[in-house]
Structure 1
Amino acid sequence: MTGVLTSRVQTPPAWFTDLFAHRRWIRRTGPFPHIYARDIFVADFYQRLVDDYARVRAERIDRFHRVIGHGDPTALGLSELRDGPLALFATREWHDLIAGVTGVAATGDIDGSVRHHAPGSPAGTPDNGLAPALFAEPAPGPAEVRLPGETGTGTRETVRAVAVLFHLGNPDWRTGDGGEITLRADSGGDSAASALTIPPLDNSMVIFECTPRSWHEYAGGNTADRGSVVMWLHRPRHEAESRWGAARVGQR
């Protein structure tokens, strides 16, 4: 089942809306609810994102760290990307757009990174995204965002609420090139029929609320470099525990 989901968030500023080629979000129900979009940004801004990704890969390669268990990519946190086009993903406007599209009341807390999967990366370990985190006080105001480690020691307990995966820098991808994302309704992965594989097409994105059923993994086997932005919006931990149960927060 698919359809168009219309966001009801407050009208964002023109500088922000002018970056988008359209505002259409396709909602899918299986194997768990998620939102998919293609050709999100206008061509000029998308190219600026690609160029900025190439720049940080060239200039800050020593700052990239290994992420174990997700296809073993290298990653650079969004908190280190506040001086170029990629900084868009750490703005309140972007946060509020994603929160509005998903209908999740997030806190303004964001974590994430730009990632690079080298050719031949292994498959990742299934993960539902319900991971806890600590952010510094005070909580961000209605026009602010907070990223991990920006100011002080983290004492506010949160849990990832919404996952966002945006693909960039993967030109000419074809079926068989690998590097897809697989969505599953359970962690076992025993039923291929219940899985959905999403290709890493440039300027495309998948968004979903993190729940006990939102299992996903990197498929691996990519024949070329794979670039992406992976990020999460957060909710207070007590809200996540009230909704899903304390035992399911941080479950792998």
Structure 2
Amino acid sequence: MVTAESVLEAQTTAKEFADLFAHRRWVHRTQPFPHVYARDVFVPEFYQRLTDDLAKLREESPGLFGKVAANYSADGVRLADVPKDSALAVFASRAWHDLVAGIAGITATGDVEGSVHHHAPGAPYGWPHNDLNPAWFPGEPPGPDEVRLPNGTVDIKTGHRADGVDARATVRAVAVLFYLGNPDWEHGDGGETALYDHLGENGRAPQLTLIPPLNNSLLLFEVTPRTWHTFAGGNTKDRNSVVMWVHRTKAEAVDRFGGDRIVYW
């Protein structure tokens, strides 16, 4: 087992966030692929701020929410567009970046991509994918107390940018899903995250593990060629989550997994 506070204590930049955590153990599981699962992640007061700010964002800034992808059933708002004074901005902080990277045991670049997702009731099943995708970020690598978020000057999926704009190629290294603002979930409500150990025939994956979208819970895993997962769909209620990644250099990803294992958009 790992604990959030044990990682926080080892990282000076994250100490200011220690009081936000409920100090419960985060469980490391090995099947169907290595991942960390945690319940009651934040103390009740901070979790309530997260849900209140999510509701406020949807009510006061509905224009920020758009289709996440053409073939994906969620709408969302990018972490880069979340107001800096929102509790949700914690997921775009250097302290959270370092905590995530530390738990996964990887060296991350300081680059963060992510969104707050909303699946309306009746959303369809997704498709198995492993998240081993490239991402391009603008400018020089961020400093040890900084993070870099997409800013629109560089296409994060392709690296396309105007002449004279610098960009760096990275690859997703750690994925995090944090569930919040959902009606009380019961077995049969659907909307879980499905995890698989391999892809079967025709790209279909035998279902092995379902992670329920319980409020104030978290799923975290290092992204590898084996981390097959998807949105299980069939939700009978609204389903909200924060979905985010920290990144490693492309050179490190190629060295570890091989360039042919990176899944280009």
> Do these two structures clear the TM 0.5 threshold for a shared fold by scoring above it?
yes
**Counterparts of 1:217 and 1:190, CA distance in 2:** 10
Aligned residue for 2:94?
92
Shift of 1:226: 0.5
What is the match of residue 124 of structure 1? 126
Aligned length: 248
- C-alpha distance in 2 between matches for 1:139 and 1:83: 24
Q: CA-to-partner distance for each residue in 1:97-156, whole Å, 9 max, x for gaps?
A: 111111011010000010100000011111101110111111001110000126774610
Relative to the length of structure 1, the TM-score reads 0.92
Structure-2 residue corresponding to 1:63: 64
- 1:1-252 to structure 2, matched below 5 A, reads 3-4=1-2, 6-7=6-7, 9-12=10-13, 14-22=15-23, 24-68=25-69, 71-81=72-82, 82-149=84-151, 153=165, 155-188=167-200, 189-192=204-207, 195-250=208-263
Give distance in 1, aligned partners of 2:205 and 2:140: 44
| Contact kept in structure 2, 1:173 and 1:200, CA below 8 Å | yes
Measure, in 1, the Cα distance between the counterparts of 2:37 and 2:218. 6
The alignment yields a C-alpha RMSD, in angstroms, of 1.9
SS at the partner of 1:161? strand
Partner letter of residue 190 of structure 2?
G
**Contact map agreement 1:160 1:210 (CA 8 A) in 2:** yes
Sequence identity (%): 54
Alignment gaps of 5+ in structure 1: none
Q: Is the 8 A contact 2:192 2:231 kept in 1?
A: yes
What is the rounded CA distance, in whole Å, between the counterparts of 2:81 and 2:10 in structure 1? 28
Q: Write the deviation string for residues 66-96 of structure 1: whole angstroms up to 9, x where unpaired.
A: 1237751001000111231001001100011
Q: Matched residue of 1:122: which SS? A: coil
Q: Is the 8 A contact 1:9 1:96 kept in 2?
A: no
**In 2, Cα distance between the equivalents of 1:41 and 1:154?**
37
SS of alignment partner, residue 212 of structure 1: coil
Q: Secondary structure of the equivalent of 1:18?
A: helix
For the 8 Å contact 1:70–1:218, the answer to whether it is kept is no
* SS of 2:255 mapped into structure 1: helix
Alpha-carbon distance in structure 1 between the residues aligned to 2:153 and 2:205 = 43
Residue pair 1:70, 1:217 contacting (<8 A) in 2 also: no
Q: Does the 8 Å contact 2:14/2:99 carry over to 1?
A: no
Give the TM-score, by structure 2 length: 0.88
Alpha-carbon shift at residue 4 of structure 1 (Å): 3.8
- CA separation in 1, counterparts of 2:10 and 2:58? 34
